[in-house]
Structure 1
Amino acid sequence: MGELRTKKRGKSWEYSFECARVDGKRKSISKGGFRTKADALAAGTAAKAEYDNAGVVFRPSEISLADYLDFWLKTFVKTNCTDNTYDSYASAIRIHIKPALGHYKLASLTPATIQQWVDSLKNEKGLSAQSMANFRGVLSGALKYAIYPCGYLKTNPCSLTRPPKVPVDPHHKMHIEHICVGDEWEDIRNHFNGTCYYLPLMICYYTGFRIGECFGLDLARDVDFSRHTITVSRQLQQDLDKKWCYKNPKYDSFRTIKIGATLESLLKSEITVMKMNRLRYGEYYTKTYVDQNNYLHWLPADQTAPAEYTEVWPLVKENGEMLNNNSMKYCVRIIKRMGYVDFRAHCLRHTHGTILAESGASPKAIMERLGHKNIKTTMERYITNTELLQNQAVDLFEAATSTTKKIVYR
């Protein structure tokens, strides 16, 4: 390639350098408008280095781990993960990874260096086994990206490390997700019945949907009364600028599941009420639209929406104002004030899975309703081993062994 050149044009300076030929013709890259020759030379040097590295603005052999992690967050995580995931990864990097390892060169990281850091998470910070696994997993994922597709590393030094063992306290009770049944669920239902928050609670209880999936529903498109199904095709989330938008469901768990008569009746009633409220409120009714980039917009009913907007029918208040994930947070605060301090919105999802298991549903059916990638997640995290399930296991064993013939040895 040609050498970097600088040239004065009038009162300003420009840089230029020759690049690869295209169709046999010589090509060059140039930029002007710099106040001094030194400014042009500095900018040209940076531009030529980026060009020589096929668009990468750094030399992989020289970049620090801290700068590489910033690059990974920007180019991979922000593009391919949800904003919540981005926030959690960025937090882990800022608080736990950069302070200990960020000053090392990416190319010089060794398993021993990483193992010392992992051990320090236990010995110095006293973190739980799960937290240590999470932070090590973030670093390992970033280094895998450095191998492929980037080609900055040949091996992942994290793969040769292991999390330290954490002694098991026999008196420590493992956290079991709260299950909302019986009088508690009846009290909650009765308290919110007749309000706009009733349907979201019932949807989560009767489907096991994630909160974002519930508020991502479009009642005009996602409910099929002829087939008795409801479809998860998106989730409602806020981006890093706190703007509401639709994103793919977690783990791309698009799915269509069957619904029963109770929820179907509620959904039919809601759609009817929404149509009546549109007429009653007239120009004061708020309509919800989604643009081509999946961002949401709200306009008065008498205002014409731009051609690129598509109207959706989400869960709404009486005047058409859209409910969102924060609406469920409000419900949770009220429920805790009612005395149910262990209640979380996510426990309705666990409740749905556990009730299905207690009623004899197959694990695969439960997995598909909840939208999990594998059966292990369903069985380990979303089906609580209730007393009923334990009694069922004993009863089944007793029934099986009571009919077994005794073997007599001679």
Structure 2
Amino acid sequence: MNDRNLICIIAHQLYYLKKIYKELMNMYVRKINNRWYYTIEDKDAQGNRKRHERFGGYTRAEAEKSYRQALAEKDRTGKHFEPSAMSFDDFLQEWLDKYVQNYLKPATMDAYSAAIRNHISPAFGTRKLRDLTTAAFQDWLIGLTSKYTKSTLKVIMSCLRSALRWAVANRRYLLSNPMDNVTLPPCRTLPKSPNIFTPEAIQVIFKKFPQGHPIHMPCVLSYYTGMRLGECLALEWCNVDMTARTIRVVGTAYDHAGPTKILTPKTASSVRVITFGSKLQAELKAQLLWQNTNRFHYGAFYKEGTEHHFVCTMPDGRQMTSNNTKYFNMWCKEDFPGTSFHSFRHTHATMLLEHGFKMDYVSKRLGHSSIYTTANIYDTITDKREKDAVDAMEAFL
């Protein structure tokens, strides 16, 4: 590059720096009813100068930052950027229809839809996109810390961040994501301990739902392996090795909207191989015998599919769905308050930890994406672990 070209480049940059400096010196912001607005100039198609007053935030600093962003966009594109006046509710529905439904898993869509319906929409649904600010989201989340758990707040934040990121990068409704600098506040609610079944409760459950009852098999599977309900309902006989006594978890059943779908598991780490003992082996053999007996009894009316051969089925061969387990959850609420089918998974993990199994082993067996997830849920000192610790301390203190 010769000196002449270098001088031209420097002169060009100085011109724009001078222009931006002049614009900043002429910045005009004002406060109206606790809301700050900035004014930016633009030219129409005929070259006439026009002024646009736009909402900038709830503080002077926010309004000045919004002005600088609008100014940078005008210099980059040559025209004034107009933030969308669409209501947040309308935008969220568009995001769910065009992005979430097509790119994310159904369970994630369910979680985001619930967060929007129960939390986000009541608080911000009627606001315009251009009126959303970082401060408003941060203050709102701080107010939720005394009402909801950390996991609930994480879902809300993830939903907001993803939606508004799409508004900026894909739709160009906004210049910047107001959630970018929002941080998760410390939660003041105590973390909930996982509800587990006592040994006495397990005996009552398997007496109430013995071999031959449709609900028995998924309960047994979850109790002996820690599998999630969807994983139990998606398990096929081809993924059960009776000789090696292993189960390959490669799918999960989703039936909350329409016919049952077999999807990939929750996370990559959820694809795993679980070993089991002689007790579950005997249960699986009994299940095979039960299905073969039903197949003979129902004959042509046995509704087993040709593509899948599920372990958990109804007497007539149909695949079990989550609706078929609702009675079990209702019964649990009456006899063992606070528990549900998922309590089998909690029980399995707690029993392993109480009997000295390492956290990393339990994490892999459950299919958690991180050992920290396991620790956050189960690393509480149970009564048995506390007693064992005291007994051990007595020996050397």
TM-score (norm 1): 0.67
Q: Percent identity?
A: 30
Tell me, yes or no, if structure 1 residue 250 matches structure 2 residue 250.
no
What is residue 217 of structure 1 aligned with on the other side?
235
Instruction: From 136, 148, 156, give the equivalent of 1:128.
Output: 148
Deviation at 1:157, TM superposition (A): 2.4
What is residue 282 of structure 1 aligned with on the other side?
299
Tell me, yes or no, if structure 1 residue 62 matches structure 2 residue 79.
no
Deviation at 1:110, TM superposition (A): 2.8
Q: Is the helix fraction higher in 1 or 2?
A: 2
Alignment check: 8 A CA contact 1:83 1:238 kept: no
Structure 1 distance, partners of 2:362, 2:172, is 41
Instruction: From 320, 323, 326, give the equivalent of 1:326.
Output: 323
Deviation at 1:345, TM superposition (A): 0.9
Residues 156 and 395 from structure 1, CA distance in 2 versus in 1: closer, same or farther, beyond 3 angstroms? farther
Structure 2 distance, partners of 1:180, 1:351, is 6
1:343-371 residue CA offsets vs partner (Å, 9 max, x unmatched)? 31111100000111111112111111111
What is residue 93 of structure 1 aligned with on the other side?
116
Structure 1 distance, partners of 2:126, 2:330, is 43
Instruction: From 314, 317, 330, give the equivalent of 2:314.
Output: 317
Residues 357 and 117 from structure 1, CA distance in 2 versus in 1: closer, same or farther, beyond 3 angstroms? closer
Structure 2 distance, partners of 1:341, 1:129, is 20
Matched residue SS, 1:161: coil
What is residue 286 of structure 2 aligned with on the other side?
269
What is residue 112 of structure 1 aligned with on the other side?
135
Which one-letter code corresponds to 1:69 in the other structure? Answer: L
Deviation at 1:103, TM superposition (A): 4.9
Structure 2 distance, partners of 1:277, 1:167, is 53
Matched residue SS, 2:161: helix
Question: How is 1:186-225 mapped onto 2 (pairs within 5 angstroms)?
Answer: 186-194=203-211, 195-219=213-237, 221-225=238-242
Deviation at 1:121, TM superposition (A): 4.5
Which one-letter code corresponds to 1:388 in the other structure? Answer: K
Structure 1, unaligned runs of 5 or more? 1-58, 290-309, 403-410
Structure 1 distance, partners of 2:256, 2:188, is 39
Instruction: From 339, 352, 367, give the equivalent of 1:356.
Output: 352
Tell me, yes or no, if structure 1 residue 141 matches structure 2 residue 141.
no
Structure 2 distance, partners of 1:282, 1:198, is 23
Structure 2 distance, partners of 1:184, 1:95, is 34
Structure 2 distance, partners of 1:159, 1:391, is 46
1:13-50 residue CA offsets vs partner (Å, 9 max, x unmatched)? xxxxxxxxxxxxxxxxxxxxxxxxxxxxxxxxxxxxxx
Structure 2 distance, partners of 1:144, 1:393, is 49
Instruction: From 357, 361, 377, give the equivalent of 1:381.
Output: 377
Matched residue SS, 2:349: helix
* Number of equivalences: 313
Deviation at 1:192, TM superposition (A): 1.5
Matched residue SS, 1:319: coil
Which one-letter code corresponds to 2:108 in the other structure? Answer: T
Alignment check: 8 A CA contact 1:206 1:263 kept: yes
Matched residue SS, 2:273: strand
Structure 2 distance, partners of 1:340, 1:109, is 45
Deviation at 1:66, TM superposition (A): 3.4
Alignment check: 8 A CA contact 1:350 1:384 kept: no
Matched residue SS, 1:62: coil
Residues 387 and 129 from structure 1, CA distance in 2 versus in 1: closer, same or farther, beyond 3 angstroms? closer
Alignment check: 8 A CA contact 1:353 1:383 kept: no
Structure 2 distance, partners of 1:66, 1:95, is 13
Structure 2 distance, partners of 1:350, 1:84, is 20
Structure 1 distance, partners of 2:155, 2:183, is 12
Question: How is 1:73-88 mapped onto 2 (pairs within 5 angstroms)?
Answer: 73-88=96-111
Deviation at 1:322, TM superposition (A): 2.7
Structure 2 distance, partners of 1:363, 1:129, is 23
Alignment check: 8 A CA contact 1:354 1:384 kept: no
Residues 271 and 129 from structure 1, CA distance in 2 versus in 1: closer, same or farther, beyond 3 angstroms? closer
